[in-house]
């Protein structure tokens, strides 16, 4: 019998019910010092396991867990309340500033209309004086024009210059400008790519939102484990899931490569980058 076969037998005897030791195993253990040592270690290990008593939870464990969960829930509720208060405050501020801007803008517009002989170059682009009679004016250029007339210059507001409202409006406008370009695709490949981007964006957002739900379940900190074998150069594997993950690495790696290959090489699925 070889050491490898002995190891397999030892592993099986540790995994399954205790069985009588075959004669060839006994012979090998008598001959091989290393395997005999392993067998003795396994016997000691099993004896040690039998001596172990089941852990008994300490008094008041359930109360402590319930208290901790309630405390966490309270903290989360307080955070949510603070967020709502901030959102309401921000919305009120925005509404107030918007109203002010529109009222002020309309007053300025009326003044401009009443002033005769104003050179055309001094007219504010987008303001009501620029509108063609009969056309339905868009509110956005009007509001933008009013903002310009009000002394607001896009891109000029800075976070620290004291005018936080102007900065917030500026940042908002910039954000509108930075929305993904939804230009119509010109080819089917572009269309498929666009669809892919949209779907992946949606999935990312859904996953981000889903993470807030996951926060409820806080992962347990794994107990620190000592080295499996003293002096071993590679880090020990902590549990069975690690060993399965390590074993499945060729499969998961290949799965990723297969998807890449499919997206890259199959005509119409993407670019040939």
Question: Using CB under 8 A as the criterion, which residues of the chain lie in contact with other proteins when the complex forms?
Answer: 8, 11-12, 15-17, 182, 184-188, 191-192, 194-195, 198-199, 202, 227-229, 232-237, 242-244, 246-247, 249-251, 253-255, 257-258, 261-262, 265-268, 272
Which of residues 58 and 268 has its CB atom nearest to other proteins in the complex? 268
CB closer to other proteins, 168 vs 189? 189
CA distance 6 to 8: 5
Residue placing its CB nearer to other proteins in the complex, 30 or 255: 255
Minimum distance from CB of 237 to other proteins (Å)? 5
Q: Interhelix angle for 249-265 vs 240-247, to 10°?
A: 40
Supply the minimum distance, in Å, between the C-beta of residue 45 and other proteins: 14
Nearer residue to other proteins within complex by CB, 85 or 259: 259
Closest distance of CB 266 from other proteins, Å: 6
Nearer to other proteins, 156 or 198 (CB): 198
How much is the CA Rg of the chain, to the nearest whole Å?
A: 36
Nearest approach in angstroms of CB 268 to other proteins is: 7
CA gap 228, 223 in Å, rounded: 14
């Amino acid at each position: 019998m070889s050491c490898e076969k002995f190891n397999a037998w030892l592993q099986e005897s540790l995994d399954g019910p205790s069985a009588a030791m075959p004669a060839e195993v006994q012979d090998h253990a008598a001959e091989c010092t290393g395997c005999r040592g392993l067998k003795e270690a396994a016997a000691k290990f099993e004896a040690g396991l039998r001596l172990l008593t089941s852990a008994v939870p300490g008094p008041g464990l359930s109360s402590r867990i319930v208290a901790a969960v309630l405390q966490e829930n309270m903290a989360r509720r307080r955070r949510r309340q603070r967020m709502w208060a901030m959102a309401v405050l921000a919305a009120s501020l925005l509404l107030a500033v918007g109203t002010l801007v529109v009222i002020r803008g309309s007053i300025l517009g009326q003044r401009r209309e009443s002033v005769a002989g104003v050179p055309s170059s001094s007219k504010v682009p987008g303001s009501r004086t620029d509108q063609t009679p009969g056309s339905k004016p868009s509110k956005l250029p009007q509001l933008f024009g009013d903002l310009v007339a009000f002394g607001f210059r896009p891109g000029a507001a800075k976070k620290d210059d004291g005018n936080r409202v102007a900065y917030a409006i500026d940042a908002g406008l910039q954000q509108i400008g930075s929305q993904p370009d939804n230009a119509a695709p010109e080819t089917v490949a572009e269309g498929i790519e666009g669809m892919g981007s949209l779907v992946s964006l949606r999935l990312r957002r859904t996953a981000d939102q889903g993470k807030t739900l996951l926060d409820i379940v806080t992962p347990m900190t794994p107990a620190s484990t000592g080295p499996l074998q003293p002096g071993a150069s590679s880090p020990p594997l902590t549990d069975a899931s690690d060993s399965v993950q390590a074993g499945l690495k060729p499969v998961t790696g290949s799965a990723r490569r297969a998807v890449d290959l499919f997206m890259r090489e199959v005509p119409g699925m993407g670019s040939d980058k």
